[in-house]
Amino acid sequence: MIEHTTPERALAVFAHPDDPEVGAGGTLARWASLGSEVHLVIANRGDKGSHDPATDPDALAEHRAEEVARAAEVLGLAGVEHLGYPDGEIENDPGLRGRLLEVIRRLRPDAVIAPDPTAVFFGDSYVNHRDHRQLGWAVLDTLVPAASPLYAPTAGPAHQVSLVLLAGTLEANAWVDVSAVLDTKVAAVSCHESRIGGEPELVAELLEQRAAEEGQRAGIAHAEAFRRLRFS
């Protein structure tokens, strides 16, 4: 139930610039603090993450990339890569899967964190973003080809990922203890000023509350919840 693994190398793949911190920032910070080499891939530019119609999408994307870099430093990540897809334009197609396969074979992570693509309805007031769902499927659909040498033979030696944690899930079966790094998660989320506006205290309170709820389900103080898959 509680996931105690500290992978030697981990790769988180998320759609929009603030998704990793919100969905798995505690786990990424925990692993990095325990000596893991943690890499992050952001698929989307974050260029449409504003309700203000006067926003310049390119300037917003640039600003959000800076926020990603600051958050990565707070979390202690080893590296961040941007795939550069415009918001709303992620497709689980051979092009995206080829890029993900290249990243997986190059970085050779023991553990991968990605969005749970099966999560669609959160209560009755939120439909999961299509980019999250498309990317989640693309990551899952890349695992077998990445581990099979006859797929993309020129993209580096085959690599089997052993642990997959799917974030933003409705069917959690594993919890990571983030009690010791909750402040780091809050600080990393707070780097995304363009998203949280002038309400950092409210954001901190919500993150604490959410982590405490998941902690209660796992019998610990603060946790992040995932759907866990194991491969050997």
Contact set with Zn ion (CB under 5 A): 15-16, 19
The least CB distance from residue 49 to Zn ion, in Å, is 8
- Name which of 131 and 214 has its Cβ closer to Zn ion: 131
The least CB distance from residue 129 to Zn ion, in Å, is 5
Residue nearest to Zn ion (CB): 16
Q: Strand ranges (DSSP E) for the chain?
A: 9-14, 37-44, 79-85, 111-115, 121-122, 126-127, 163-167, 174-177, 223-230
β-strand 121-122 against 174-177: which pairing, if any?
Answer: unpaired
- Name which of 47 and 177 has its Cβ closer to Zn ion: 47
- Name which of 21 and 110 has its Cβ closer to Zn ion: 21
> How many CB atoms are closer than 10 A to CB 157?
9
First-to-last C-alpha distance (Å) of the chain: 19
> Which residues partner with 113 through β-bridges?
12, 165
The least CB distance from residue 149 to Zn ion, in Å, is 33
The least CB distance from residue 134 to Zn ion, in Å, is 11
- Name which of 94 and 197 has its Cβ closer to Zn ion: 197
Size (the chain), residues: 232
